[in-house]
Structure 1
Amino acid sequence: MKYIIIGGDAAGMSAAMQIVRSEGEHELITLERGEIYSYGQCGLPYAISGIVGEPEDVIARSVDKFRDKYGIDAKVNHDVKQVDTEEKTVSGSITTSGQTFQFSYDKLLIATGANPVMPDWEGIHLNGIFHIKTIPDTNEILDYLDQDIDNVTIVGGGYVGLEMAENFKAIGKDVTIIQRGEQLMKQLDQDMAQLIDDEAKKQEIQVIYGESVKSFSGNKQVEKLHTDQQDYQTDLVLLSVGITPNTQFLGDEFKYGDKGEIIVNEHMQTNVADVFAAGDCASQYHRIKQQQDYAPLGTHANKQGMIAGQNLVGGNRSFKGIVGTSVLKFCDIDIGKTGLSEKEAKQLSIDFDTVKITTRPVAGYYSNKEKLTVKLVYEKVSKTLLGAQIIGHKGVDKRIDVVATALYHNMSTTDLLDLDLSYAPPFNGVWDPIQQAAKRTL
């Protein structure tokens, strides 16, 4: 059996390792358009401040290791341009030479990830304007920071924008965030997003709301950012305005979601025979929304890749879906979300209610320094839990994972009160904050 995997990062190589570990004879070719395999993209912002020593430290396994230890024909600089699902071939060009290639397959996995959105703004190709998605991207930013850089402007206040703001601030830069909408992290409700704005003010990170970037100007390198309302002096611009699935090279025989992601079933199969997809180029079933969704995260990519690899070699594993869990560090606060926000519940026409409390993550007599704000969203009549947003200085990750597990098992707010959660004064009160919030729903 001949397998081809397009993409050499999380989903692709998780699948590849399942094929390697399977029984039976096989030929396995992986095609990566870059030169680096299997690296943790989420760690790259922390290489800017030096928390991660070097960008290359996020590499999990080298290309040579995949080749020499695991016997994978791991190719680099191979940019796939076309998939012929009738002839069962993939073709493209080698980026370093321009030479073309074509390979046949028995079974194919598309794990091409996603590309940063690069709007067609005037001046966007000036020096000093970056996005951060790959190790080379990160090294380019670090090299540019060797110049006299004081003012950094970040376009976009989502996950990566906030992480980059923190890390630029940590190395002494003046940081401004330009946000087209009226809040940071649109995934959250406005009342919770206000806590992030408060932290930005505390850290002297300027946030500009309600302005749209129009262009950039400067003499070879960026000097000004122009919005629809005013101009901003800047020495460096970081674009963080979203990503789009890397599926543009595929034909219309595939089914796609609203963002261009490939629709897959629970076995990671596409609608085309012998073609699977996984990771940031594919859809994820959302258990609470009860529909296909697009949530490009490394956790999903690795899990989907593993399941796809097992099924490529004849397995019958199912991807059980997501509940929409994420966590983020922004300066001195942690931000967690799982399930539905109030906004999402409204969009789905669910009859819901909410409760929000601000409490302490540990016993009150142990420390009164830290605070934790918990917001639960639940069905009004049944009390079935729909989601949570938690922001605070300590213990956010613990609580958001508890709620994520409760969501997976379709628990109610009343069920939360029955959970046997750990307690000792340095870690918790006798009633955990999520249980304190659940009490208010009775």
Structure 2
Amino acid sequence: MKVAVIGSTHAGVFAAKQIKADHPDAEVHVFEKNQTVSFLSCGIALWIGDNVSSTDKMFYETPDSMAKQGISMHMQTLVEAADLEAKTLNIKDLVSGAQSEETFDKIVITTGSRAIKPRIPGIDSDKVFDSKTWDNANALKEVTEKVKRIIVIGAGYIGAELAEQLSVNDKEVTLIDGLDRVLANNTAPEFSSVFQKAYEDHGVKLALGQMVSGFEDTADGIKVTTDKGTYEADIAILGIGFLPNTAMFRDQVDMLPNGAIKVNKFMETSVKDVFAAGDSATVFYNPTQKDDYIPLATNAVRQGILVGKNIAEPTMAYQGTQATSAVELYEMAYASTGLTVQSAARKGVEADSVTISEDYRPDFMLSTTPVKASLTWEKGTRRIVGAAFLSKHDISQAANVVSLAIENGMTIDQLSMTDFFFQPNFGQPVNYVSSVAMAAVAKANK
């Protein structure tokens, strides 16, 4: 079995490793246009903020480590074209310029995503930076150490983390977003308002509800124009979001309108013996019970493993995702899973939610701190579809608990009576996950 894996971030790396582990005799070829594999791009903001112990540890595999596992690594090699029905790839060595055509038994598309870069006048200025690849990270690390004023465009997780790390390192930061709240697509208003105040307390200028219309180089930096004003800085950083990097495969395979390749529960595309995973593919989103596009490393890893498990024949089905994620800003941890009431409405789910605040452990302890917890459920069925937690205490695993509940179709009633331990060092007699579920039951019963 001769397999081509196109791309080697998370999905491509895990697919290649799993194929080789399950099928030692398989001939696995990985084609990657860059010089590195497995870059943890979620660490870019932390590196810029001097919170990374070693850049070497921002990669969990190398081309050499992959090769030692029996995988043929073709680095700095571009797949220029693909005929998916014929299983043929046109390949270019970016170093020598040599071109070739090769045929495979199976093709795995793990081309990932590309940063959204709207066609806005001046956006190609060398003072406007992207934040996605290893090359982007190096460029940002170098330039942010030299400048004082920085505009960050996009207040989702990427932009939020960049703005926070830059502000705590004495940079003058302006954060621009088209929506009227920071983290508007990630949080409910009662959570984003907490972060909004934290940004303002740390001197970040918020320019929310504003659409960027142009960039213009100035004598000492860049001017960003929006529909409501102009802002000047030394540089601007884009953190707008991502789209599937799948243009090469358009009209060959079924896709969503945004270019995400549709896959079934075994990671198979609409073309026989062609698989897709990660940011280039759809996921099954358990809160809505529908296919969706959710570019997260966690989804990519699991889908990559499933490609390996199913490469020869359908063996292991995808369990779906809850899009569970977390962020830490200004020493406040936020973790969430599934939907908010706002995002549920956008996706056609009629939902309700409840939010509570209580100390995470008894007040007789020498120290404790509040946890803000929210639970979202589908009206009628009472099925849990989302949750969020915010605290200076580490509440990250609470989101994982509710993620598991969503995956297993649990109701608010079931979660309210689920057994969680009590020990004063760790929690209250009624854990805050139980408390918010009980509050949800009480509200739903009214």
TM > 0.5 fold call: yes
Is the 1:127–1:221 Cα contact (8 Å) retained in structure 2? Answer: no
Structure 1 residues 344 and 143, CA gap change in structure 2 (3 angstroms): closer
Q: Give the match for residue 213 of structure 1.
A: 212
What does the per-residue CA deviation read over 1:22-70, in whole Å, with 9 as the maximum and x for residues that have no partner? 3453211100011101222212221111211343431112112222x11
What's the secondary structure of 1:346's corresponding residue?
A: helix
Instruction: Tell me by how many angstroms 1:320 deviates.
Output: 0.8
Q: Structure 1 counterpart of 2:48, which letter? A: I
What's the secondary structure of 2:261's corresponding residue?
A: coil
Q: What are the residue-to-residue correspondences of 1:354-393 with 2, within 5 Å?
A: 354-366=353-365, 370-393=369-392
- Counterpart CA distance in 2 for 1:251 and 1:26 is 28
Instruction: Tell me by how many angstroms 1:248 deviates.
Output: 0.6
Instruction: Tell me by how many angstroms 1:182 deviates.
Output: 0.6
Q: Structure 1 counterpart of 2:82, which letter? A: V
Is the 1:218–1:224 Cα contact (8 Å) retained in structure 2? Answer: yes
- Counterpart CA distance in 1 for 2:116 and 2:303 is 24
Q: Structure 2 counterpart of 1:298, which letter? A: A
Q: Give the match for residue 130 of structure 1.
A: 129
Aligned: 1:174 with 2:188: no
> Which ranges of 4 or more aligned residues in structure 1 deviate by more than 6 Å?
none
- Counterpart CA distance in 1 for 2:145 and 2:331 is 27
Across the aligned residues of Structure 1 and Structure 2, the Cα RMSD in angstroms comes to 1.9
Q: Give the match for residue 10 of structure 1.
A: 10
Q: Give the match for residue 346 of structure 2.
A: 347
Is the 2:22–2:308 Cα contact (8 Å) retained in structure 1? Answer: no
Instruction: Tell me by how many angstroms 1:365 deviates.
Output: 2.7
Is the 2:222–2:236 Cα contact (8 Å) retained in structure 1? Answer: no
What's the secondary structure of 2:334's corresponding residue?
A: strand
Is the 1:128–1:221 Cα contact (8 Å) retained in structure 2? Answer: no
Q: Structure 1 counterpart of 2:292, which letter? A: D
Q: Give the match for residue 50 of structure 1.
A: 50
Is the 1:195–1:391 Cα contact (8 Å) retained in structure 2? Answer: no
What does the per-residue CA deviation read over 1:89-148, in whole Å, with 9 as the maximum and x for residues that have no partner? 01143333443232210001000100111122222222232111122111111221343x
- Counterpart CA distance in 2 for 1:276 and 1:210 is 40
Q: Structure 2 counterpart of 1:286, which letter? A: Y
Q: Give the match for residue 37 of structure 2.
A: 37
Structure 1 residues 118 and 96, CA gap change in structure 2 (3 angstroms): farther
Is the 1:155–1:237 Cα contact (8 Å) retained in structure 2? Answer: yes
What does the per-residue CA deviation read over 1:205-244, in whole Å, with 9 as the maximum and x for residues that have no partner? 2211111111222258733222122221201211001111
Q: Give the match for residue 328 of structure 2.
A: 329
What's the secondary structure of 2:5's corresponding residue?
A: strand
**Percentage of matched positions with identical amino acids:** 26
- Counterpart CA distance in 2 for 1:393 and 1:415 is 28
Is the 1:280–1:297 Cα contact (8 Å) retained in structure 2? Answer: yes
Q: What are the residue-to-residue correspondences of 1:133-172 with 2, within 5 Å?
A: 133-147=132-146, 149-172=147-170
Instruction: Tell me by how many angstroms 1:303 deviates.
Output: 0.6
Is the 1:339–1:388 Cα contact (8 Å) retained in structure 2? Answer: yes
What TM-score, normalized to structure 1? Answer: 0.94
What TM-score, normalized to structure 2? Answer: 0.94
- Counterpart CA distance in 1 for 2:350 and 2:399 is 23
The answer to which of 259-268 and 341-350 deviates more is: 341-350
Aligned: 1:70 with 2:64: no
The answer to which of 224-233 and 267-276 deviates more is: 224-233
What's the secondary structure of 2:248's corresponding residue?
A: coil
Structure 1 residues 163 and 317, CA gap change in structure 2 (3 angstroms): same
- Counterpart CA distance in 2 for 1:38 and 1:382 is 41
- Counterpart CA distance in 2 for 1:336 and 1:293 is 21
Unaligned runs of 5+ in 1: none
What's the secondary structure of 1:257's corresponding residue?
A: coil
Q: Give the match for residue 104 of structure 1.
A: 103
Instruction: Tell me by how many angstroms 1:384 deviates.
Output: 2.3
- Counterpart CA distance in 1 for 2:272 and 2:202 is 53
The answer to which of 277-286 and 172-181 deviates more is: 172-181
Is the 1:307–1:319 Cα contact (8 Å) retained in structure 2? Answer: yes
Unaligned runs of 5+ in 2: none
Structure 1 residues 97 and 129, CA gap change in structure 2 (3 angstroms): farther
Q: Structure 1 counterpart of 2:416, which letter? A: L
What's the secondary structure of 1:223's corresponding residue?
A: strand
Is the 2:84–2:107 Cα contact (8 Å) retained in structure 1? Answer: no
Q: Give the match for residue 191 of structure 1.
A: 190
- Counterpart CA distance in 1 for 2:74 and 2:366 is 54
Is the 2:360–2:368 Cα contact (8 Å) retained in structure 1? Answer: no
- Counterpart CA distance in 1 for 2:422 and 2:221 is 53
- Counterpart CA distance in 2 for 1:108 and 1:285 is 21
Q: Give the match for residue 223 of structure 1.
A: 222
Structure 1 residues 24 and 205, CA gap change in structure 2 (3 angstroms): closer
- Counterpart CA distance in 2 for 1:263 and 1:220 is 47
Structure 1 residues 353 and 229, CA gap change in structure 2 (3 angstroms): closer
Structure 1 residues 374 and 18, CA gap change in structure 2 (3 angstroms): same
The answer to which of 292-301 and 54-63 deviates more is: 54-63
What's the secondary structure of 2:436's corresponding residue?
A: helix
What does the per-residue CA deviation read over 1:269-306, in whole Å, with 9 as the maximum and x for residues that have no partner? 00001100000100000112011011111111111001
Q: Structure 1 counterpart of 2:385, which letter? A: L
Q: Structure 1 counterpart of 2:353, which letter? A: T
Is the 1:49–1:171 Cα contact (8 Å) retained in structure 2? Answer: yes
What's the secondary structure of 1:176's corresponding residue?
A: strand
Structure 1 residues 24 and 178, CA gap change in structure 2 (3 angstroms): closer
What does the per-residue CA deviation read over 1:400-421, in whole Å, with 9 as the maximum and x for residues that have no partner? 1111111111112221222222
